[in-house]
Structure 1
Amino acid sequence: MNILLWHVHGSWTTAFVQGKHRYLMPVTPDRGPWGRGRARTFDWPETVEEVPYERLAREEIDLVLLQRPEELDLLELWASCARLPKVYVEHNTPRADVPDSRHPLADRDDVRIVHVTHFNDLFWDCGRTRTTVVEHGIVEPRARYTGELERLAVVTNEPVRRGRVTGTDLFPRFAAAAPLDVFGMGVAGLAAERIAVFDDPPQAAMHAELARRRAYLHLCRWTSLGLSLIEAMTIGLPVVALATTEAVAAVPAGAGVLSTNVGALTEAALWLIESPDEARRLGAAGRAAALRRYGLDRFLADWDRLLEEELCASR
């Protein structure tokens, strides 16, 4: 199958393009948000092909995978693409009017919305638009947990701008329990006493560094399930997390500590710092759970079934 999609979310796309299809990605001269083309820091197969916008109308495309409402407008530039079967991947939780949030593609009959978590499916009002859930899958990181550094790790993007959404205001409370290392894009402004930052490192290098930290913090108040949490679990890090959104399903009992009581979570973080054997035990349980639920084979099989359904329904 020839699938047109934009490069939006690096980790999710890395998993998706491991399938058996041909993946066409628009590219612009400046490699801006509407034409980033292939990833430069993720390992993608050769079945991912960059296609300049002016060539899209001549490409043989079977299905379009959308991830932003604006991409529907872009399809109108190529009449042949606008008529193709379409699925829309909803990566995010609603940003306003919860719990009455209407999805931008609500009440449409020309697209299916695919949520990445059951939490998203529950909270978005999609009206009459067909919906389904395909849970995340990841390419298993090569790094393996050692926990040798008595430090806590967070992976997040734009924590200064996003503030309370990503739990940025909670970072100093955890840093008081143990030194905190923050990895991701836009983290430079966070550097402070007992908080070190690692701005936009290559994914493989970041995984290797995460593996050396004693525990992983997931402090998002309101977000879809971050793939960095699943990756950390698969590496073998024990998790200390806010019991919010899909995290309560992703981190089973015995794989970490979840609570809405921040004081209890800071105590749990300190306990893991002081108890390396317990940290290793919880991390091993989390790794096993993540591999079972978010394995790449299951993810690709679920997507293949859905794509075949959409293609057959359009004929």
Structure 2
Amino acid sequence: MNILVWHVHGAWTTAFVHGKHRYLVPVTPDRGPYGLGRAQTYDWPASVEEITPDQLATEPVDLVVLQRPEELELAETWLGRRPGRDLPAIYVEHNTPKGDVPNTRHPMADRDDLLVAHVTHFNDLFWDTGATRTTVVEHGIVPPRVSYDGSMARLAVVTNEPVRRWRVTGTDLMPQFASIAPLDVFGMNVQALAEAVELPADRLATYDLPQALLHEQIARRRAYLHLCRWTSLGLSILEAMTIGMPVVALATTEAVAAVPPEAGVLSTNLGTLREAAAWLIDDPVAARAMGEHARRAATGRYGLDRFLGDWDRLFQEEQCALR
């Protein structure tokens, strides 16, 4: 199949394009948000091809994967065909709802021409999509090429825009854990974090690294700290588990389903989480054992073969439904 899909979320798209299809990724001269093209810091297969809006008008696209409301109009304009009517269209919802939760209406609510595919069951439960059909395709992980080392008695955090997003990403909670062990925070736009949370350099360090180096570095930290209050299930926590890292996380959104008790400590009680972080820092043997449970749990539930198989079945169903 020839599948049109925008490059929006690097880690998710990386797993998605490892399937058996031909993936057409829009590119524009400015490589802006609707024409980013191929990833620069992720390893994508040769089956992912950049394509300009002008080229799409004559390209034999079989199915469109949408991820933002604006893409519906863009696809119709660029293809000269209406997604959901002239060819199958699936809208992937990556995020938790915002605003008046749990009454938030999805932008694709009450449509008979689309299928909304949520990445977690939590999101499917909380979004109000009205009469629009929905399904869930849980995340899949391209296995990181490193294994847990855990030799550094530090806590790893992966987050993007932690200053701007603040309470959403649990940035305000970081000082409570930095008092237990130094934090190493990886992600985009983390440079101003230390000043924002008022932590000295010996308690917090920040890094913006390519994906391969990111995995190599977090694997050396003792445990993975996940402080997100209200985000969809971050792929970074699944990658950390796949590496073999034990997890200390807020028991919110889909994390409670993704991390079984033997793989980490989850709670909404910050005291419990601080105690867990201190325990793992002080007991590297226990940390390694818990991390091994995390690795097995993540590879079993979020393996790439299961993920791609789920998507292939969905593609076939949507093609048949439109005939």
TM tier, smaller: over 0.9
Equivalent positions of 1:188-203 (< 5 A) are: 188-191=191-194, 192-193=199-200, 194-199=203-208, 201-203=209-211
The aligned residue for residue 307 of structure 2 is 299
SS of the aligned residue for 1:152 comes to: strand
Q: Secondary structure at the match of 2:262?
A: coil
Question: Per-residue displacement from partner, 1:14-45 (whole Å, max 9, x unpaired)?
Answer: 00000000000110011110101111111111
- Please name the residue that 2:22 is paired with: 22
Q: Percent identity?
A: 71
Q: How far, CA to CA, are the matches of 1:43 and 1:308 in structure 2? A: 27
Partner amino acid for 1:223? T
Alignment of 1:241-256 (within 5 A): 241-256=249-264
Shift of 1:95: 0.9
Q: Distance in 1 between matches of 2:252 and 2:171?
A: 15
How far did 1:81 drift?
Answer: 4.9
Write the mapping of 1:133-282 to structure 2, written as runs, cut at 5 A: 133-191=136-194, 192-193=199-200, 194-199=203-208, 201-282=209-290
Residue 52 of structure 1 is matched in structure 2 by: 52
State how far apart, in whole Å, the 2-side matches of 1:53 and 1:101 are: 33
Provide structure 2 residue ranges, at least 5 long, that are not aligned to the other structure: none
Kept in 2, the 8 Å contact 1:107–1:127? The answer is yes
Q: How many residues align?
A: 314
After alignment, is 70-79 or 210-219 more displaced?
70-79
Deviates more, 1:131-140 or 1:82-91: 82-91
TM-score by length of 1: 0.98
SS of residue in 2 equivalent to 1:165: coil
Q: Do 1:57 and 1:81's aligned partners in 2 also have CA atoms closer than 8 Å?
A: no
Q: Secondary structure at the match of 1:254?
A: helix
- Counterparts of 1:102-117 in structure 2, within 5 Å, are 102-117=105-120
Q: Secondary structure of 1:49's partner?
A: strand
CA distance in 1 between partners of 2:13 and 2:269 (Å): 34
What is the CA-CA distance between 1:77 and the residue it aligns to?
1.2
Query: What 5-or-longer segments of structure 1 have no aligned partner?
Result: none
Q: Counterpart amino acid of 2:42?
A: F
CA distance in 1, matches of 2:97, 2:151: 38
Q: CA deviation at 1:80?
A: 2.0
What is residue 80 of structure 1 aligned with on the other side?
Answer: 81
With the length of structure 2 as denominator, give the TM-score of the two structures: 0.96
* 3-state SS of paired residue (2:168): helix
Structure 2 distance, partners of 1:49, 1:301, is 22
Shift of 1:109: 0.5
Corresponding position: 1:122 with 2:125: yes
CA RMSD between the two structures: 0.8
Task: Quote how far apart the aligned CAs of 1:267 are.
Answer: 1.2
Q: Tell me the SS of whatever aligns to 2:261.
A: coil
What is the letter of the counterpart of residue 307 of structure 1? Answer: F
